[in-house]
Structure 1
Amino acid sequence: MSINLQTNSTFNHWRNYLKKPQNAILVLLGIVLSFATIFPMVTIWLDTISIHAGSVDAQVSGRQAGYTLYNWIDIISGRLARRNFWIPLQNTVLLSVLACLVAICFGGVFAYLITRTDMKAKKYLSNIFIFPYVMPQWTLAVVWQNMFYSKAVTGGSDGLLAALTGIKMPLWWCQGLFPTALVLGIHYAAFAYILVGGIFRNMDANLEEAATILNTPKYKIFFRITLPMVQPAILSTVLLVFSSAMGSYPVPHYLNFTTLATKYVDLNVNRAGQASALAVIMMLFGIAILLFNQLATGGRKSFTTVTGKSGQASKFNLGIGKYVIPVFLVVFTFFTSIFPVISFALETFLPNPGDYSFFRTWNTSNLTVKWWMNNTGTAGSMYGQKGILFNSTIWYAFFGTILVAVSCAFLAGTIGLLVGYCVSKNRRSRFAAYVNSIAFLPYLLPSLAVGVAFFVFGSRAGLYNTYILLIIAGTIKYIPFASRASLNSMLQISGEIEESAIIHNIPWFKRMTRIIIPIQKSAILSGYLLPLMTCIRELTLFMMLCAQTKLLTLLLDYFDEMGLYAFSAGINLMLIVFVIICNMAVNKLTGASLDKGIGGN
């Protein structure tokens, strides 16, 4: 009898719990997200110990199926371990660390100049600064090639600098660690600008004012007071930049720098299990940097920066620097934000893309429109391809990109909205905290590692080279954008608003569509549009999941392999213009902007 009573009590408890829509949806999301996130990770780990038919592990073991530790042993201590693992690992860590330093120094200093000084042209500089992040990641890498490559040093045609001035930059400047770290650092500097700038703008001035009254030198105030107060923002920037740089493929690929990501592509054919081991190691780095961030900002430390007891500190007077510094920044941001568009457009009119020798005589009669307008595909230099405007392969990939981006944005935005709503309604629940964490986890993992996990999963599930697999991978990867935007907005809504609707017996769906969503429509709409913009310019996540002709970003490598660099430049131009248009649409529709509220507007 007691067992029956206990069973009935448990049943009634769960029935009453699941009667609330937010609880039922939370349980469903917990199951779906756990499977969609954890199962591919387990699959890729199993792939590291599986024997692959036709691969090295099959030759060594003499079997075509089963399990072995050979892949782990050989990748760490085998004859080729130094070339296949240790050197790429060392390069990857160095690249990630240097990219963090560049992003923090560049973005942090820029944030300080915008928020705490009397520098001129703040609005323009603040808007233009985030352009390198809005544009595809490899944009600056290709621009670097067009600027500094030369026939004598890197082979091929002379870039702009060599063509115009005859100056030939050394190889370490053109390729390798230095340009790769610099390009990635500039690309991710927007993280530091947003995070550090937000703290600088809202920082309580009491401590700095007290130090000033005590005649403390300004450099001591900056290093002993100001910098420690922005420590959480710096650590968050390290978390985001380190994991993103570690999984970056296109920038090291274009600038000829060997990392774990590029080595994975090299090993994936003949050493598939060892390639999967590299992806697992990248995942572990992402988790480790997250744990380090939690330990560094945890405990009894206090990082309060807003108290309500003091206004913003007075702006630092730069003197003549308030005119000189913005001139330098305007020139610099021209080359990182505006020049790429000009460069790619110019490439599509050169008879031999990448060859700027005609600038020596300024003979523009050699320019051509064949890369855009050729409608026959008979030109020998075009390898049977029609011009960009008439090329069905390009437009098929373009519409495929739009299909995947819109689908991922809709699914990620909707799931993220529900995650934010349910977690905000169950904020004291451990299960809600778990669902919130599992929804955010894919963002902390390198894109290539997530892509590899879904590649292994999709291959075994028969989904490889399908739009379904692309949409699933993109949705899981971009849910964090929507869930964080939704959660932050939902926490601002008082529970009394929905309770009054419940009293009037308004169904849950109507409460969401007529009350909750309209109140926070700007933040919720951003949760849909941000995944859309990111998915359009995504390469690393999708590069292993389908053929090169399915998506516009993947088509770049296809045309590069064919030697049709004008087509690559044209696709880059299409992506940049389309993403910028989407970014402007986000600002227009939602009023949201990456730099808004920091000091630029």
Structure 2
Amino acid sequence: MKQKFNALLKYLRKPQNIILLILLIVLGYLTIVPLITIIADTFTVHSSEVRAIKGSKAGEFTLYHWKKMFASGQTSMKVFYEPFWNTLKIAFLSCMVAIILGGSFAWIITRTNIKAKSFLSTVFVFPYIMPAWTLAMAWLNFFRNSRIGGAPGLFQVLTGIETADWFAYGLFPIVIVQGLHYAPFAYILIGGILRNMDANLEEAASLLHASRFTIMRKVTIPIVRPALLSTFLLVFSSTMSAFAVPAFLGTPVRYNVLTTQMYRTLNGMNPGYGYIMALIMIVIGVGILMVNQWITGRRKAYTTVTGKSSNIALVNLKKARTPLTVLLIFILIVIAIVPLISFAVESFIMAPGDYSFSNFTAEFWIGEGRADIANSEPGILRNKSIYTGLMNSLKLSVVVSLVAGTVGILAGYAIAKKRGSHLATIVNNITFFPYLMPAMAFGAIYLSMFAVRRGFIPALYGSFALLALCGSVKYLPFASRSGINAMLQLSGEIEEAAEIQGISWFKRMTRIIIPIQKSSFLSGYLLPFISCMRELSLFILLVSPSTRILTTLLFQYNEKGWNQYANAINLIIIVIVVSFNLIVNKLTGASIDKGIGGNS
């Protein structure tokens, strides 16, 4: 007994063991328990459902939600099957757009002598840096029609042609917008492989007199197939969980997907339906990422980079070089720059649809509020709600980044030190688990778990603490990956030398380990900040009037039809997000397009 006690003391003297045990308990409660809670909520009568489920009491066991969701004829079709089918169509088609556009752009940048490669590479990733719904708002600014939008968009004003409903709203624009948003993601993955691929593979095919098309079909595409599959699966998972884009572009024509339907049911009288949808989305998300890991794991020995010369023979575009460069620059300006201009213009328009100079006003920015405008809502720069939302967004982002970043460093340290042990493997999987859950489903879990008091855990619904807790756990995977990678790069001899000298663990961390890897650790703080600042889906179910943030204010203004305010807030969010992305690059040297572009 004494030996076991001494062994336990010896085990607990190592900081990494204590960190892993604490993380196992805390993160186990914050990730596994919520999942169990949401499963239980699908079988529970909720207080708002007592009238619908006759003869029932709140808290009782029921199969009502499952029967209504899957086996109630027309009700099931409207509530679940139609939104589910719409979700699958959008996810699949968005993947196709992203892969075709991003893959083609990657090939042009890495395999041709196109001009201005650095500029094109930097600007192409801009739509991915911005929140996805910014492109959705830009689409509405340009292509809304007077039949549904109330006022014509820029396209109708300039051309006199009224856009068709299918073009302005619903499936088509959602697919295009989400495809454009994730095209840079495909570009990053596919471009990285194309750039690092051994040129001898293609040169050998050329020596055998294979045509450029045959080389592309027989050599290039098979080599990038793992990246194509990874891109497809990850973009499919991301688009399935998207809420803002379908909400902006689908709601006007009642084109519902799982996330918009889940938002409606959780905020309405049937939360049980919403919890089932959340559970289904989690299962699909986990399944997709497991398939992705299985596919990439099978291709570990697929060699594309060798020690031989890999000077790539670029395709000579000849006379098409300059026109193609100009065309690509024009397309990128339309996708990445023009939307920002549209947000600014729309925020100064008094009467929507009238773009004459006499209709421009600063009322929506600096006005005190007029009875005939948005229920006397003051301008953005005079609006207390906006400043409250801005402060809440900044405060929330700072708290989330500090918590997620610090826990990520500790997790990375402990997991790297105990790499290979069962405890480290379990904690590593738990820290990554929130990434597998769609953002709105994750928010729904925390809504369910903290709506009421459970033992000594208080009810947190409507509090800032719930937002901070949810955001910290959701963005922990970013910080923990950064921490693990940083620690694996650091030789263990450095800390061992300090330990021999009797230097305490706290001093070793603050004086040696963190200073050496400060750039990697800093990104573990800044990436959660940026992600939290632009997040809507995760917090839309959790905010209350006192905890509203900029993104939810934008959504509320857009729902009310106050487009000028929504566009102004959108512009503010983009400026903040892009500015902090620039700070990330300056402080850490990180650039998501680095290694893909080339010299201009």
TM-score range, shorter chain: over 0.9
Instruction: Return the letter of the residue paired with 2:486.
Output: S
Q: Quote the Cα distance in structure 2 between the aligned partners of 1:396 and 1:600.
A: 44
2:103 to 94, 104, 108: 108
Please say if 1:186 is aligned against 2:184: no
Could you tell me which residue of structure 2 aligns to residue 23 of structure 1? 17
Please say if 1:404 is aligned against 2:396: yes
Please say if 1:97 is aligned against 2:95: no
1:369-389 Cα offsets, whole Å, 9 max, x none, are 1111112x2442131211111
1:534-566 Cα offsets, whole Å, 9 max, x none, are 100100000000125611110112222333221
2:436 to 435, 444, 454: 444
Q: Quote the Cα distance in structure 1 between the aligned partners of 2:358 and 2:376.
A: 24
Could you tell me which residue of structure 1 aligns to residue 128 of structure 2? 133
1:395-439 Cα offsets, whole Å, 9 max, x none, are 001000001000001111111112222222122223212211211
Preserved CA contact (<8 Å) 1:103 1:185: yes
Q: Quote the Cα distance in structure 2 between the aligned partners of 1:26 and 1:204.
A: 42
Could you tell me which residue of structure 2 aligns to residue 351 of structure 1? 350
Paired residue secondary structure (1:54) = helix
Could you tell me which residue of structure 2 aligns to residue 481 of structure 1? 478
Change (3 A) 1:548 1:205: farther
Preserved CA contact (<8 Å) 2:109 2:117: yes
Preserved CA contact (<8 Å) 1:276 1:452: yes
Could you tell me which residue of structure 2 aligns to residue 545 of structure 1? 542
Paired residue secondary structure (2:594) = coil
Preserved CA contact (<8 Å) 2:407 2:480: yes
1:519-545 Cα offsets, whole Å, 9 max, x none, are 222121111111111100100000000
C-alpha deviation, 1:9, in angstroms? 4.1
Could you tell me which residue of structure 2 aligns to residue 122 of structure 1? 117
Could you tell me which residue of structure 1 aligns to residue 467 of structure 2? 470
Q: Quote the Cα distance in structure 2 between the aligned partners of 1:56 and 1:270.
A: 9
Preserved CA contact (<8 Å) 1:409 1:529: yes
Preserved CA contact (<8 Å) 1:51 1:64: yes
C-alpha deviation, 1:600, in angstroms? 4.8
Please say if 1:372 is aligned against 2:372: no
Please say if 1:292 is aligned against 2:286: no
Could you tell me which residue of structure 2 aligns to residue 571 of structure 1? 569
C-alpha deviation, 1:500, in angstroms? 1.3
C-alpha deviation, 1:301, in angstroms? 5.9
CA RMSD of aligned residues (A): 1.8
Paired residue secondary structure (2:87) = helix
Could you tell me which residue of structure 1 aligns to residue 302 of structure 2? 303
Could you tell me which residue of structure 2 aligns to residue 435 of structure 1? 427
- Structure 1 residues 515-524 or 213-222, which shifts more? 213-222
Preserved CA contact (<8 Å) 2:234 2:288: no
C-alpha deviation, 1:460, in angstroms? 2.2
1:141-174 Cα offsets, whole Å, 9 max, x none, are 111111111214x341110010011122222111
Please say if 1:507 is aligned against 2:504: yes
Change (3 A) 1:15 1:112: farther
1:282-338 Cα offsets, whole Å, 9 max, x none, are 001101101211232334762222222332422222223332222222111112211
1:226 to 220, 223, 247: 220
Please say if 1:53 is aligned against 2:51: no
Please say if 1:271 is aligned against 2:270: yes
Q: Quote the Cα distance in structure 1 between the aligned partners of 2:217 and 2:112.
A: 17
Please say if 1:390 is aligned against 2:382: yes
Change (3 A) 1:222 1:88: same
Please say if 1:459 is aligned against 2:456: no
Instruction: Return the letter of the residue paired with 1:385.
Output: E
Q: Quote the Cα distance in structure 1 between the aligned partners of 2:46 and 2:347.
A: 43
Q: TM-score, normalised by structure 1?
A: 0.94
- Structure 1 residues 420-429 or 226-235, which shifts more? 226-235
Paired residue secondary structure (1:383) = helix
1:220-273 Cα offsets, whole Å, 9 max, x none, are 322222222223322332332122111111100111131000111222212110
Change (3 A) 1:579 1:155: closer
Paired residue secondary structure (1:298) = helix
C-alpha deviation, 1:61, in angstroms? 4.8
Q: Quote the Cα distance in structure 1 between the aligned partners of 2:230 and 2:438.
A: 15
Instruction: Return the letter of the residue paired with 1:488.
Output: N
Q: Quote the Cα distance in structure 1 between the aligned partners of 2:575 and 2:591.
A: 17
- Structure 1 residues 414-423 or 470-479, which shifts more? 414-423
Paired residue secondary structure (2:6) = helix
Q: Quote the Cα distance in structure 1 between the aligned partners of 2:174 and 2:427.
A: 36
Task: For structure 1, list consecutive stretches of 5 or more residues without a partner in the other structure.
Answer: none
Change (3 A) 1:62 1:26: closer
Instruction: Return the letter of the residue paired with 1:371.
Output: F
Preserved CA contact (<8 Å) 1:548 1:558: no
Change (3 A) 1:316 1:23: farther
Paired residue secondary structure (1:11) = helix
Q: Quote the Cα distance in structure 2 between the aligned partners of 1:314 and 1:498.
A: 46
Could you tell me which residue of structure 1 aligns to residue 67 of structure 2? 73
Q: TM-score, normalised by structure 2?
A: 0.94
C-alpha deviation, 1:56, in angstroms? 6.3
Instruction: Return the letter of the residue paired with 1:285.
Output: I
Instruction: Return the letter of the residue paired with 1:145.
Output: L
C-alpha deviation, 1:57, in angstroms? 7.7
1:49-68 Cα offsets, whole Å, 9 max, x none, are 10112316852453333111
Q: Quote the Cα distance in structure 1 between the aligned partners of 2:303 and 2:186.
A: 19
Change (3 A) 1:266 1:538: same
Paired residue secondary structure (1:308) = coil
Q: Quote the Cα distance in structure 1 between the aligned partners of 2:552 and 2:408.
A: 27
2:7 to 4, 13, 26: 13
Paired residue secondary structure (2:373) = helix
Could you tell me which residue of structure 2 aligns to residue 414 of structure 1? 406
1:591 to 589, 592, 595: 589
Paired residue secondary structure (2:452) = helix
Q: Quote the Cα distance in structure 1 between the aligned partners of 2:277 and 2:412.
A: 33
Paired residue secondary structure (1:314) = coil
Q: Quote the Cα distance in structure 2 between the aligned partners of 1:20 and 1:426.
A: 11
Change (3 A) 1:366 1:264: same
Please say if 1:426 is aligned against 2:423: no
Q: Quote the Cα distance in structure 2 between the aligned partners of 1:399 and 1:557.
A: 17
Preserved CA contact (<8 Å) 2:463 2:544: no
Corresponding residue pairs, total: 587
Q: Quote the Cα distance in structure 2 between the aligned partners of 1:27 and 1:516.
A: 22
Q: Quote the Cα distance in structure 2 between the aligned partners of 1:517 and 1:250.
A: 38
Please say if 1:531 is aligned against 2:528: yes
Change (3 A) 1:351 1:74: same
Taking only the aligned residue pairs, the percentage that are identical comes to 46
Change (3 A) 1:17 1:324: farther
Preserved CA contact (<8 Å) 1:112 1:200: yes
Instruction: Return the letter of the residue paired with 1:418.
Output: L
Instruction: Return the letter of the residue paired with 2:363.
Output: K
Q: Quote the Cα distance in structure 2 between the aligned partners of 1:198 and 1:115.
A: 9
